[in-house]
Amino acid sequence: MDYAIAHYNKGSHARRKTAGSPAQEPRGVFGFYETSQRCAATTAGYPPTCPGSAAADGFLRAVFPATLKENKTMRDSREIARIGKGFCTSLAQLTAHYGIALPLSEPFHYPETITTLLPLLQETLKGEVKDFYSLRLVQAKPIAFLVSEERHSTGQSLYYIPVVPIYKMLRSKRHKKAGILLLSVCSWLYRIVDVPYYRQENAYLYYQYDMIKDWVEQDTDNEYEGGEKQDLYTAITIGDHIEKKLSNAANLEQFTCRLNSFRAMDDVDQECFVVATQAHALFSQYPNESIFRNTPFREESEDDYYDNETISMDKYISFSADTKGWLFDTVADTVNNEFNECGEIEEPTLVKCFNGTPTTGSFDFERRVFNLMDRLCDILYNYKMQ
């Protein structure tokens, strides 16, 4: 199934390209256990001493038991007790954090208690916690504790925000004020939320548009007509023009004033006003937060794997030229083909360690921003210049 397929149902989120299942199942599910190998201490004791042969020193020939010699059974008992105490303490912190109840049988038996409770705990979290993804037990000296992973589902969708409709709004006498209001919204998305822009060379969509541009310019079979070249020219010129406006700090500084003075005259104005109100509330509550703030951490050595096997967040979140017409259809096809070669989708992720330290973090910001971008894209997709 294609990653991106057209989805234009009336009354639903019409503009978006929704995603099908990736080519392979995600490979990042953690197992239940991570144990470290304990190096056994020596039980040899002290070596016998070798004094001289004088009879008076004969008592030194005796070999005394080593006072530091450790009984293996006792050591294992202490280790099990430490694991049990850590598990019970961690379990209490986890259930309190998520507001769930899970009875702990007494006494603790290792490993039976853990192997019984972990699957039950995982199923409970799946049913009660919306973004729960996985659970594991980590044994790190001197304690053992639970670690949960939460992932915010992005719906396998392409969040491509078109700027050509905003340009048309600004040129419309009827909707110019709505266009100016959306400039403040998009300036916040561009400057603070860090949504990539397709005219920036480090953006994923820049490469897609540039590749199509090369196809058109190198066409020797007259496959592409003048309309395709005009679409590319429009995407480039309008894209550069709108980016200058979004990068202008004045559009963000005047956000509050524009919102307070705005008066809706029709349905388009009202929809723009609702989105702008939501964006302003987020801007006020999270003045410096990026949409990539909870991107999963990866080692530098994993970069090649991510480039080849993972759909990173910056690939499906971006400003684009438009979400209609030949050019966007071609962009969507190239993106779709590449995504179908990947086995995993990168999504906002929280890893919480229940080891006695305070546990914080939520997806409130991400959930609201993705919903806002979804609604904004709907407005711009359905906009018709009057």
Rounded distance between C-alpha atoms, residue 72 and residue 78, angstroms: 10
Burial readout 35-55 (b: 16 or more C-beta within 10 A, e: otherwise): eeeeeeeeeeeeeeeeeeeee
**What local confidence, expressed as pLDDT, does residue 39 receive?**
40
Task: Give the domain-ending residue among 150, 177, 195.
Answer: 150
Rounded percentage of the chain residues whose pLDDT exceeds 70: 75
Q: Confirm whether 197 is domain-assigned.
A: yes
Nearest CA among 128, 125, 117 for reference residue 148: 125
**61 Cβ contact partners less than 8 Å away, ≥ 6 residues apart:** 48, 49, 51
Q: Confirm whether 54 is domain-assigned.
A: no
Note whether 132 and 165 are same-domain residues.
no
Task: Give the domain-ending residue among 150, 169, 191.
Answer: 150
Q: Are 349 and 144 in contact (CB under 8 A)?
A: no
Q: For the chain, what is the domain count?
A: 2
Name the pLDDT band for 133 (thresholds 50, 70, 90).
Answer: very high
Note whether 115 and 166 are same-domain residues.
no
Q: Read off the pLDDT of each residue in 51-67 and give the average, rounded to a whole number.
A: 43
**What local confidence, expressed as pLDDT, does residue 141 receive?**
74
Q: Confirm whether 103 is domain-assigned.
A: yes
Q: Confirm whether 43 is domain-assigned.
A: no
Note whether 215 and 123 are same-domain residues.
no
Q: Look up residue 242 and give its DSSP letter.
A: H
Note whether 192 and 113 are same-domain residues.
no
Q: Are 258 and 277 in contact (CB under 8 A)?
A: no
Note whether 195 and 178 are same-domain residues.
yes
63, pLDDT greater than 80: no
- Model pLDDT for residues 213-247, shown as the tens digit of each residue: 998 888 767 677 778 888 999 999 999 999 999 99
Note whether 207 and 265 are same-domain residues.
yes
Note whether 223 and 329 are same-domain residues.
yes
Note whether 204 and 83 are same-domain residues.
no
Q: Confirm whether 135 is domain-assigned.
A: yes
Nearest CA among 215, 234, 221 for reference residue 167: 234
150, pLDDT greater than 90: yes
CB-CB neighbours of 156 under 10 Å:
18
Note whether 93 and 210 are same-domain residues.
no
For residue 47, say if its preceding peptide bond is cis, omega within 30 degrees of 0.
Answer: no
Note whether 185 and 87 are same-domain residues.
no
Q: Read off the pLDDT of each residue in 58-64 and give the average, rounded to a whole number.
A: 42
Q: Are 96 and 146 in contact (CB under 8 A)?
A: no
CA dihedral 51, 56, 60, 61 (to 10 degrees): 80
Nearest CA among 296, 349, 338, 288 for reference residue 316: 338
What average pLDDT does the structure give for the chain?
A: 82
Name the pLDDT band for 259 (thresholds 50, 70, 90).
Answer: very high
pTM above 0.85, yes or no: no
Task: Give the domain-ending residue among 150, 177, 203.
Answer: 150
Joined together, the tokens standing for residue 240 give 């550069």
Note whether 163 and 307 are same-domain residues.
yes
Joined together, the tokens standing for residue 332 give 């969507």
Joined together, the tokens standing for residue 37 give 């190998």
Rounded distance between C-alpha atoms, residue 101 and residue 78, angstroms: 28
DSSP 110-124: TTHHHHHHHHHHHHH
CB-CB neighbours of 263 under 10 Å:
7
Nearest CA among 154, 171, 160, 167 for reference residue 376: 160
Nearest CA among 362, 359, 367 for reference residue 95: 359
5, pLDDT greater than 90: no
Name which residue leads in pLDDT, 334 or 309: 334
Q: Confirm whether 232 is domain-assigned.
A: yes
Q: Confirm whether 341 is domain-assigned.
A: yes
Rounded distance between C-alpha atoms, residue 148 and residue 128, angstroms: 14
SS3 content of the chain, % helix, strand, coil (to 5): 50, 10, 40
Nearest CA among 4, 1, 12, 5 for reference residue 381: 12
Rounded distance between C-alpha atoms, residue 305 and residue 291, angstroms: 23
Give bridge partners of residue 57 from the DSSP assignment.
none
- Model pLDDT for residues 9-20, shown as the tens digit of each residue: 333 443 444 444
Domain span at residue 130? 33-38+69-150
Q: What angle do CA 211, 216, 220 make, to 5 degrees?
A: 125
| Residue 67 falls in which region: left (phi positive, over 0), alpha (psi -120 to 50) or beta | alpha
Name the pLDDT band for 81 (thresholds 50, 70, 90).
Answer: confident
Note whether 259 and 223 are same-domain residues.
yes
- Model pLDDT for residues 283-321, shown as the tens digit of each residue: 999 999 999 999 998 765 555 555 668 999 999 999 999
Joined together, the tokens standing for residue 59 give 């008592």
Q: Confirm whether 44 is domain-assigned.
A: no
- Model pLDDT for residues 99-129, shown as the tens digit of each residue: 998 776 667 777 888 888 899 999 999 999 9
**What local confidence, expressed as pLDDT, does residue 73 receive?**
58
